[in-house]
Structure 1
Amino acid sequence: MKRFTHVAFLLFIILSAISCDKSAIDGEWDDNIHLSEKNITISAEANKVLITTKGTSWWIAGILLYDDSDYDISDTDTTQEDFLIETEDFSIERKNTKEIHVSMTQNNTGSERTLTVSLQAGNYFDGFQVHQSAN
């Protein structure tokens, strides 16, 4: 009986050790957006930039300007293949599912402006920043 207990315990330890898979973390997704650029710097003049994606099932999770102005985008369905978000400082347009067109007005603030756009696709989060120089 003592030998059976030892064998059973040893078998339990071996099975426990081989059943653990530490190669993948729960909730960790691979990049399914594939942004062409994540950090863009533009001059203080009015500018446009084009960012492309390989993934098509992403949406905008949030937009910040100056790291403190969170824009309400609840009126725009950013899961659509084409949409337009316009403000007095910038516009973001999705075209043909895989193109993000960002326009920034001239920066007359005297300090750098940073537009941060957060994207999500399933449980994967990514984003890009457009840094506009001061005038």
Structure 2
Amino acid sequence: MIETTKNTIFAIGTLLLLFSCSNNDDNTKPAILGCNMPNIIDLSENEVQFKSEGDSVTITTGSQNWSLSEIQLEGKPQYNLAKVDVIAPTFIVQDSVFTVERRDRNELYIKMSENKTDENRKLLITLQQGNCFDGIRVEQVKKS
């Protein structure tokens, strides 16, 4: 009798646990942990293709309150952002391969030098606003 009661309580507890967990209402896009407004930065573009000769793009944002979180080249962090005021209304991050410039609160300029390698180059720029993150993926084609 006691064993049956324990099993019943366990079964009810398991069912309550399973049904109390909810899934994201929008099944097309997974929820970002801690971010209740996934598109808060509102980038004009998330993916950009650059020519091998060198290229640039200006990305606009719908929000003004974002900051630069990280820059990766080929999947590796590329720049010590401690040297940059990443929340300032304007800043420039320069490297031998890329330039990332916040020209005003709603405009981010990205430039890459000529790709002289036999591989495509991938640059990822991550922006943050509160607990929300968004990114711009730049792929620069290899030399012809």
TM over 0.5: yes
Name the counterpart of 1:111.
119
The size of the alignment, in residue pairs, is 116
Aligned to 2:36, what secondary structure does the other structure show? coil
1:13-24 to 2 correspondences below 5 Å: none
Shift of 1:62: 0.6
Q: How far does the alpha carbon of each residue in 1:20-72 deviate from its partner, in whole angstroms, 9 at most, with x for none?
A: 89579882321220000001011101111111001011011111001124321
Name the counterpart of 2:129.
121
1:86 maps to 2:91: no
Rounded to whole Å, the distance in 2 between the matches of 1:69 and 1:134 is 21
Q: 2:71 aligns with which of 59, 63, 78?
A: 63
Question: Unmatched 5+ residue regions in structure 1?
Answer: 1-19
Name the counterpart of 2:42.
34
Q: How far does the alpha carbon of each residue in 1:67-94 deviate from its partner, in whole angstroms, 9 at most, with x for none?
A: 1243211100110111000000000000
- Of all paired residues, the percent bearing the same amino acid is 29
1:131 maps to 2:139: yes
The one-letter code sitting in structure 1 at the alignment partner of 2:84 is T
Query: Structure 1 pair 69/78, CA: closer, same or farther in 2 (3 Å)?
Result: closer
Larger radius of gyration between Structure 1 and Structure 2: 1
1:44 maps to 2:52: yes
Aligned to 2:82, what secondary structure does the other structure show? coil
TM-score using structure 1 length: 0.79
Rounded to whole Å, the distance in 2 between the matches of 1:27 and 1:129 is 22
